[in-house]
Amino acid sequence: MKILRPLTDAEVVSAFIRAELSSPRFRKNMLTHATGLGVTEVELLDSSTADNQLNIKRRNVLVHARPGIMKTLPTDVVWQEVLFSVEEWSRIQYINDEPWVVFSDNTRLVARGAAKATQESDRTIHQRVVEIHEKLQRGKKIEKIILLADPKLTKIVVVEGHVRATSYLALDQVSMVKIPIILGVSQHPETWSLY
């Protein structure tokens, strides 16, 4: 693993929200919760993290929009932007939740899902993986995946970006190791209900 830079919690929340807003599946949910909490789309997409009040609002929106992910995430997470080796990429796991456990044949390994996605065994995920590959080929910006791990990286789990992680693992190894990742390391990752 190569560490590129440390990240604040506010930067990670902002990245998570931008990823959700770029997703056809999660955009409406995120905007509905934001509107209900009096936060505009412009505020959600503002990448500046200098405004602490706005940071608190965005975090609140994310907790309401994605409670299953956010409410049990450990509080001691240290965030970094990193590059992974091929071996580290091969060990990334999906969250312990449907449909990812079944999609990976109960292994939770994203590498297993990537192999299946390229074989069209799950047409919905296959189509989303193809769309991401097309965006990458056109040079479009793709939001970073967010991972959680223990300090020794013995277990690395996707927090946000399951389809993107699947798509990246279907890429060639030269491209894969150049993709920046947001990695959170916790002393107690097992406290997260989806770990």
pTM of the model: 0.93
Instruction: Count Cβ atoms within 10 A of the Cβ of residue 34 and give its class: 0-12 exposed, 13-18 middle, 19 or more buried.
Output: buried
pLDDT tens digits along 130-143: 888 888 878 888 89
Per-residue confidence (pLDDT) for residue 174, from 0 to 100 = 66
